[in-house]
Structure 1
Amino acid sequence: MKELPKINQLRDFQAIIHYGNVRAAAQALFKTQPAMTKSIQELERILGVTLLARGPQGMVLTEMGRVFEPRVNTLLNDLERAVDELHQLSEQSQGNVTFGCSHLPAFSVLPSLINAFQEKNPSANITIVEGQLCELIAPIRLGRLDFYIGIESPEISMNEFTVESCFNTEFCIIAKKGHQLSNCRSLSELKGAKWFFPSTRSGYFKGLEDFIFPNGKEDKNIVIYGDSLVIGEQLTLNEDYLFIAPKATLEISSIKDLITRVPIKEKLPDALYILLYRQQQGLTPLARQLIDKVKQACFCLLTDKNQ
């Protein structure tokens, strides 16, 4: 039978990549440097290749190391999830759930939802990662995220995922109340406006930018790109920027009295919200509980339905 690496050797390899050198990795794992070095040498002996080499700034991956690293990450993540799932099955309220979501749910419904979920499951550890799908697809593929809910990106291959189409939601142009362009009825009247766009230049948001600037941006167009609703809010309220967001943004309690929809006649394309997770990974019991609540909360927020 072929000799296989030990879990500790894989963790040592992962730690050196993360910390950049043997000394820091050894300290993080409470090992001595000689023990860490011996572990990596034994791993390389088993594999028959060199994984790490010394560089000017510390340890760097060799070509073989770059091939091996994502496999190690996936294997260790899956093993941790398997152990966690068994713990969850034996202790219903315990376990870890890490999921990704787009910005509006993270900014609006999720804080209170997670708080309520945590009260019912006090031993659960919940981690939320905010971002668009194109930003989070890598950690989803590596198994670092249990699931993702947000706007689809058609250019991303979904063959390895279970994907559920959840709902469509309407987008609109938003300005602060009293903005000189807040009553404009057409996109043509918004020439010269200052815009805040998501930094994502793909999928739905790339289409939105093309919709606003069908002939491309002109020199007088000021556009700032970013992925923070907080920054978007400040630019809108304090610097007279316009931004594009789901219509449900108008109902966020902290800002709804300060912003308004620009009533242009052109209808912006709707966005499809999806839920996805790796087919091979499945969902832990705790993740299944949470996912139902997240879907329902997002549906109510984005489709104007009351819970």
Structure 2
Amino acid sequence: MKLSQLRNFLAVAEMGSVRAAARHLGLAQPVVSRGLQELERELDVSLFERNARGVTLTAMGVRLLDRARTIQNEMRRAQEDIAQLRGGTEGTLNVCLSTVPHIALLPYALKTFRQRYPDVQLDVLDGVFPAAEAKLKNGELDCYVGPAPEQPPGSDLVVEKLFDNTRVVLCRRGHPLSKARSLADLQGAEWISTTVTFKPEEEFAPLFEQHGLPVPRLVMRAHSALTYITTIAYSDFLAMLPVQWAEFEITRNALDIIRVKEVLPAPPICIVRRGDLPLTPAAQYFCDMIRRAGIHLEQERTRRSGRQA
């Protein structure tokens, strides 16, 4: 099995046709076709079903796809690893960040990272752990920063806690419930849930049941920060989001906090990465800057608490 064969296989799988793959790779179509045929003969299976519109993966092709992506990602990472160890500043960094690190950690970490690695191309996926898990395992992502996974992800991934977190209830300016002071006062309200839990109701049920309250009515599940902001600002929906939302300039000036008396815990913020292979120097430096940003955030929070006391 040759790397060029796997490269051609991946291109055809992702582009949906041999012609599009050849154009993408800058190769002649017969060269790509011949490479696929050689790979299928070597494996003694059909990897694609051919049809008038192009090709689709067979069951065997789907099985090979993840392994081929892992091999390609590790080859790229190996080249970048050696180049950066020799002092190079080029490469790629693929990370997944939830909203909290976007708001509270990335602004602090990005400037220093760019000074150290000005030629590294950053590719940032916005999401929580379920969106990142498979990509971490096959090497598409270098790391994930966000709420800790609901369940331990297995020995192949390392979870490092950065800090514990809490949530606040957010609403639009002038909301009729803005003066409420307990979760009990919010009964009857309509809520937005996030994707931090596998099922929407699991995000609220334990907390409300702990206080002897029925699970609130969930009318919407949001998958992006933009959805949270626009929906909360232009409706009577409520959301329970990490406290960093209330401290972020954009949302602080657009939304109000409903200051309920109950403590609203949130999953700790963590870094998740593969445990079987080291990070590239650029990825390691990025994680170091994220750790430093987390320490800075905690120090600022402590100082604010001291002034309020």
- Find out whether 1:195 has 2:164 as its counterpart: no
Q: Is residue 181–residue 258 contact of structure 2 (8 Å, CA) maintained in 1?
A: yes
Q: Is residue 246–residue 302 contact of structure 1 (8 Å, CA) maintained in 2?
A: no
Matches of residues 18-97 of structure 1 in structure 2 within 5 Å?
Answer: 18-55=14-51, 57-97=53-93
143, 146, 154: which is aligned to 2:150? Answer: 154
> Aligned partners of 1:302 and 1:17: how far apart in 2?
45
Q: Structure 2: which amino acid aligns with 1:42? A: E
> Aligned partners of 1:57 and 1:186: how far apart in 2?
58
SS in 2 for 1:126: strand
SS in 1 for 2:150: coil
- Find out whether 1:129 has 2:155 as its counterpart: no
251, 258, 262: which is aligned to 1:255? Answer: 251
SS in 2 for 1:254: helix
Distance 1:163 1:222, change over 3 A: closer
The equivalent residue for 2:306 is none
> Aligned partners of 1:56 and 1:196: how far apart in 2?
44
1:244 is displaced (CA, Å) by 1.2
> Aligned partners of 2:174 and 2:298: how far apart in 1?
25
1:88 is displaced (CA, Å) by 0.6
Matches of residues 255-274 of structure 1 in structure 2 within 5 Å?
Answer: 255-274=251-270
The equivalent residue for 2:204 is 209
Q: Is residue 170–residue 239 contact of structure 2 (8 Å, CA) maintained in 1?
A: yes
The equivalent residue for 2:231 is 235
Q: Is residue 169–residue 302 contact of structure 1 (8 Å, CA) maintained in 2?
A: no
1:94 is displaced (CA, Å) by 2.5
> Aligned partners of 1:201 and 1:211: how far apart in 2?
12
Distance 1:209 1:265, change over 3 A: same
> Aligned partners of 1:142 and 1:13: how far apart in 2?
16
> Aligned partners of 2:224 and 2:207: how far apart in 1?
20
Q: Is residue 26–residue 33 contact of structure 1 (8 Å, CA) maintained in 2?
A: yes
SS in 2 for 1:129: strand
Residue range with higher mean Cα deviation, 20-29 or 293-302:
293-302
Note the alpha carbon deviations across 1:178-223, whole angstroms, 9 max, x for none.
Answer: 32111212222212323221145428x75322146647767xx352
1:74 is displaced (CA, Å) by 0.6
Q: Is residue 92–residue 286 contact of structure 1 (8 Å, CA) maintained in 2?
A: no
> Aligned partners of 1:23 and 1:29: how far apart in 2?
10
The equivalent residue for 2:307 is none
Q: CA RMSD in A?
A: 2.3
Gaps of 5+ in 1: none
> Aligned partners of 1:156 and 1:165: how far apart in 2?
13
Q: Structure 2: which amino acid aligns with 1:170? A: T
1:245 is displaced (CA, Å) by 1.1
> Aligned partners of 2:111 and 2:201: how far apart in 1?
34
What TM-score, normalized to structure 2?
0.88
> Aligned partners of 2:249 and 2:73: how far apart in 1?
38
1:27 is displaced (CA, Å) by 0.5
- Find out whether 1:165 has 2:161 as its counterpart: yes
1:139 is displaced (CA, Å) by 0.6
Q: Structure 2: which amino acid aligns with 1:160? A: D
Q: Structure 1: which amino acid aligns with 2:40? A: E
Q: Structure 1: which amino acid aligns with 2:158? A: T
> Aligned partners of 2:237 and 2:69: how far apart in 1?
42
> Aligned partners of 1:112 and 1:157: how far apart in 2?
28
166, 176, 182: which is aligned to 2:178? Answer: 182
1:302 is displaced (CA, Å) by 6.2
> Aligned partners of 1:227 and 1:299: how far apart in 2?
28
Q: Structure 2: which amino acid aligns with 1:289? A: Y
Residue range with higher mean Cα deviation, 264-273 or 179-188:
264-273
Q: Is residue 187–residue 212 contact of structure 1 (8 Å, CA) maintained in 2?
A: no
Distance 1:33 1:94, change over 3 A: closer
> Aligned partners of 1:42 and 1:109: how far apart in 2?
48
The equivalent residue for 1:106 is 102
What TM-score, normalized to structure 1?
0.89
